[in-house]
Amino acid sequence: MQAVILAGGKGTRFGDLTKKTPKSLMLVSGKPILEHTLSSLPPQINEVIIVIGHLGDQIKNHFGNKFGSKKIKYVDLNGKFLGTAYSVWQTRKLLRDKFLVLNGDDLYDKKELGNLVKQKLAVGLAKTIPPSPKYLNIKLDKDNNITGFDYPTEKEMKTGILLATGAYVLNKNIFKYKMVKIANGEYGLPQVIFKMAKKHTFKGVLMKKWIQINRPEDIKKASPLIS
């Protein structure tokens, strides 16, 4: 099985820190975030496609074409930072069928990813306070199948929502759907998944150990949690 890791962004919320170093190479407990992500991949994954952009050569030089027993290929965005869906679409010619998608600047747990990839189609979810009202609140039915989404209410901004963790199990059927442009002009992957979920069953899988890295202070919080 293949994994697509999205590591092309500029990491603007890190300010000057990411002007010379890509966000995915920022250190958590002495190791780059992306190294933690690669280490968390379950044994089902034998090939990784890393989508690079901002300072992508640093990522290629650091990891080369192999991580342990897993082969690594790279797809360069060539300066086109057009969102998560656009990034995944650039890998479609390299994909076989079922594949895992991850953010290259978040931290995941190997066991939880192992549970995720057992599903035919799935979205990793976390119950958490959203960083902003722009984050989507994922809706599930009684069988934990995804039924749609809405934006958090004022109350939910305090009590928490089911947030997509950026971890998805997809197959090439996703490319039969048009990319969805979101408010910032980029193309959002979750929005395409919700279109696909109207005809295909997606499981919502809770991921309690996911750590989102948005700002430098998140790295400080994450370090003690990484064994």
List the domain boundaries for the chain: 2-225
Phi, psi for residue 50 in degrees, rounded to 5: -100, 125
Residue 83's pLDDT is 93
Q: Which residues pair with 206 in a beta bridge?
A: 125
Res 102: pLDDT: 98
* pTM for the predicted model, two decimal places: 0.93
Q: Which is nearest to 116 in space by CA: 222, 35, 202? A: 202
Assess contact for 11 and 54: CB atoms under 8 A: yes
In this predicted structure, the answer to whether residue 227 has a pLDDT above a threshold of 60 is no
Confidence of residue 132 (pLDDT cuts 50, 70, 90): confident
pLDDT given for residue 216 in this prediction:
80
Identify the pLDDT of residue 35.
96
pLDDT tens per residue, range 1-49: 999 999 998 766 677 677 789 999 999 999 999 999 999 999 999 999 9
Measured between alpha carbons, how far is residue 67 from residues 37, 38, 101 in Å? 11, 7, 17
* CATH pick for 2-225 out of 3.40.1790.10, 3.90.550.10, 3.40.309.10, 3.90.650.10: 3.90.550.10
Cα separation, 32 vs 15, in Å, equals: 18
Provide the pLDDT for residue 12: 67
Q: Percent of the chain scored above 90 by pLDDT?
A: 78
